[in-house]
Amino acid sequence: MTTVSIREVGPRDGLQNEDPVATEAKIRLLDALSRTGVGRIEAVSFVHPKAIPQMADADEVWAAAWRNPDVRYSALIPNSRGAQRALAAGFREIEVVVSASDTHNRRNLNRSTDESLDDIAQLIPLVHEAGATLEVIVATSFGCPFEGDIDPDRVAGIVARVRADGADRIAFGDTTGMATPRRVRDLLTAVRPDLLHFHNTRGTGLANILTALDLGVTEFDASVGGLGGCPYAPGASGNVATEEVVHMLHDMGIDTGIDLDALLEAAVLAERLVGRPLPSGVLRAGPRTRLV
């Protein structure tokens, strides 16, 4: 049986685009997701509270959260200070973002793409010396809301640079949902990532995942309920909903290790905590096995 690994990003990427949620509520959601069978969770982000106030309580959330020994937890960091905080908190899987689009990188990180790549080159030995791994997420890989199309060769150049510098993993981010199956095929023909992160802004998220599966990618990010977006990119609505991905893959006979019923309970909780309807179709209608 084919197996797909899903990293749940709702606690970080999902909640960072919402009005601030209470620390206790974040812990409840993280704990609920830890009980779904998902193998990886992006738990928090160690960023400056002025930049992303929704993540200001990252240390408190992580200190109080239940840590399932069967789950690999990761944290996103913006720079060496964030890396030091994440390492001190005990994380051994760390992520950093660089945008393929120079304009988006300046909006997101206040520096050019090349400057971010230079910073990442300095981060890698810091992380490795602590016995941790660093994943580089290349945002706007499939297009930029400010610059438009992104040449796959530019993404390939960034990948070549960070691999040469010693990055452990590479992920491609579809930051504002500009990817389509054609764009996925074009990019993955030029260069291959370890993991893909799709948004469903224009309704192509599941189709993009199927295209990537056909090309041999078996690791994806998804967010409970379809939570998420990017505070520095207009129109960057939610990520692909985890329960929609799991529902589709299980019906195809593909194993994810995730209990869909438990995941739907977590999605109901997420919707209640953020206080608004979430966009997941499976959350609304239930799985196909549930009759009206």
For residue 148, give the DSSP letter: B
For 148, the domain range is 5-285
196 beta partners: 172, 220
Single pTM value for the model: 0.95
The 3-state DSSP class for residue 288 equals coil
Distance of CA 168 to the CA centre of its chain: 16
Active site annotation includes 144: no
Burial class of residue 283 in the structure, from the number of CB atoms within 10 Å of its CB (0-12 exposed, 13-18 middle, 19+ buried): buried
CA neighbor of 224 nearest in space, from 3, 18, 59: 18
Residue 290 lies in a domain: no
Q: Contact at 8 Å (CB) between 195 and 220? A: yes
In-domain check, residue 10: yes
Assigned domain for 108 exists: yes
Asked whether residue 292 is assigned to any structural domain, the reply reads no
Q: Which of 162, 230, 236, 264 is catalytic?
A: 230
Question: pLDDT tens, position by position, for the chain (292 residues)?
Answer: 789 999 999 999 999 989 999 999 999 999 999 999 999 999 999 999 998 999 999 999 999 999 999 999 999 999 999 999 999 999 999 999 999 999 999 998 899 999 999 999 999 999 999 999 999 999 999 999 999 999 999 999 999 999 999 999 999 999 989 999 999 999 999 999 999 999 999 999 999 999 999 999 999 999 999 998 666 555 556 899 999 999 999 999 999 999 999 999 999 999 999 999 999 999 999 987 765 4
pLDDT value of position 80: 94
In a domain, 257, yes or no: yes
> What's 32's domain CATH number?
3.20.20.70
SS3 219: strand
The 3-state secondary structure of 4-29, one letter per residue: CEEEECHHHHHHHHCCCCCHHHHHHH
> What pLDDT score was predicted for residue 288?
79
E strand or H helix that includes residue 158: helix 152-165
Q: What is the pLDDT of residue 291?
A: 52
Q: How many domains does the chain have?
A: 1
